[in-house]
């Protein structure tokens, strides 16, 4: 169930690029997109958390940590990602960003939260190779050093976010943690919007449909399923399973926008799925021989 939830989260996150492209076509600004995304998600999650009593009894320190995860960690990752997107190719940026599964695995091992098992290392190598095949085939254009640095900074920020979520979420329900993360991010982007003289919501009415899809599907559902899956499988396995996200993005783009998939990208998608099988393949347990009386 933990692996399934991580894969479902990856699919929801993977659809966000499609929703975002349709929102841009409706005239939605990047800053407004991020503000509305997290504001709507925060309201929905806070209503659910208040109804279920998920935030009841949460220590003040945990509340502050959850808000900081969203207001600093998630907001930093999003800001660096969209800043890099203005300078380098989107597929190249995604390829740089998906260095984070390796960073999460290394960080979890260095912090002694997990062991460097052969299965995890093998799945990490396979998933990274598959992601490189899927996204590397679409990468084009010259490399901008600052854009590449910002993309790698987004990967580092997301790594810290996942490792922090594994620790902060240990004593908190996923609904409570998700509501705090989205609230913190919404506050950060609201402050930026006010400073820049926004928000400017004069886009086409269809933009609200795609913003709602981003908020509900690619934020509320995606974050909730990720945190529940993270609690069940651990940070490194969750990050490896999340490499399905760019595969979903490429496939949806091919179906909706009629973008062609190269044989290399199709092979890469199969390789990423094989990494999921490696991380979830059942292990044989040795039966202990009874000790003679």
Would you say residue 290 lies in a domain?
no
Q: Is the dihedral of CA 38, 40, 46, 51 positive or negative?
A: negative
Q: Tell whether 146 is covered by a domain.
A: yes
**Please, which pLDDT band fits residue 285 given cuts at 50, 70 and 90?**
very low
Asked if 78 and 204 count as a contact pair (C-beta separation under 8 A), the reply is no
Does 285 reside within a domain?
no
* Overall domain count for the chain: 1
Q: Taking the model in full, what pTM does it have? A: 0.75
The answer to whether residue 103 sits within a structural domain is yes
- Output the CA–CA distances (angstroms, integers) from residue 157 to 76, 153, 162, 204, 246, in the order listed: 7, 6, 9, 33, 18
Peptide bond into 199 cis (omega under 30): yes
Q: What is the pLDDT of residue 246?
A: 78
Residue owning tokens 């599964």: 101
Q: Which of 217, 180, 148 minimizes the C-alpha distance to 46?
A: 180
pLDDT digits (tens, 9 = 90+) for 98-154: 777 777 877 887 887 777 777 777 877 887 787 777 666 666 556 678 888 888 899
Task: Tell me the per-residue pLDDT of 132-146, one tens digit each, with 9 for 90 and over.
Answer: 776 666 665 566 788
41 in a domain, yes or no?
A: yes
Inside any domain, residue 291: no
pLDDT band for 9, please (50, 70, 90 cuts). very high
Range of the domain at 234: 2-280
């Amino acid at each position: 169930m933990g692996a399934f939830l991580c894969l479902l989260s990856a699919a929801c996150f993977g659809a966000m690029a499609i929703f975002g492209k349709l929102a841009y076509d409706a005239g939605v600004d990047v800053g407004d997109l991020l503000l509305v995304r997290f504001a709507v998600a925060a309201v929905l999650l806070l209503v659910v958390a208040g109804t279920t009593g998920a935030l009841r009894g949460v220590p003040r320190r945990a509340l502050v940590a959850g808000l900081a995860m969203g207001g600093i960690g998630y907001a930093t990752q999003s800001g660096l990602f969209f800043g890099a997107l203005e300078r380098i190719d989107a597929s190249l940026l995604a390829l740089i960003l998906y260095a984070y599964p390796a960073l999460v695995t290394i960080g979890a091992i260095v912090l002694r939260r997990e062991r460097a098992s052969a299965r995890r290392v093998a799945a990490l190598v396979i998933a990274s190779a598959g992601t490189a095949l899927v996204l590397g085939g679409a990468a084009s254009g010259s490399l901008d050093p600052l854009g590449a640095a910002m993309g790698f900074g987004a990967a580092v920020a997301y790594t810290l976010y996942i490792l922090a979520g594994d620790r902060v979420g240990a004593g908190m329900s996923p609904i409570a943690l998700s509501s705090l993360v989205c609230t913190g991010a919404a506050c950060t982007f609201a402050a930026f919007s006010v400073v820049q003289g926004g928000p400017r919501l004069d886009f086409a009415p269809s933009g609200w449909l795609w913003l709602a899809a981003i908020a509900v599907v690619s934020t509320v559902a995606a974050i909730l399923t990720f945190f529940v899956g993270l609690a069940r499988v651990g940070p490194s396995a969750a990050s490896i399973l999340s490499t399905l996200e760019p595969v979903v993005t490429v496939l949806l783009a091919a179906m909706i926008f009629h973008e062609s998939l190269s044989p290399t990208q199709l092979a890469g998608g199969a390789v990423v799925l094989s990494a999921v099988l490696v991380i979830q393949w059942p292990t044989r347990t040795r039966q202990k021989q009874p000790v003679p009386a």
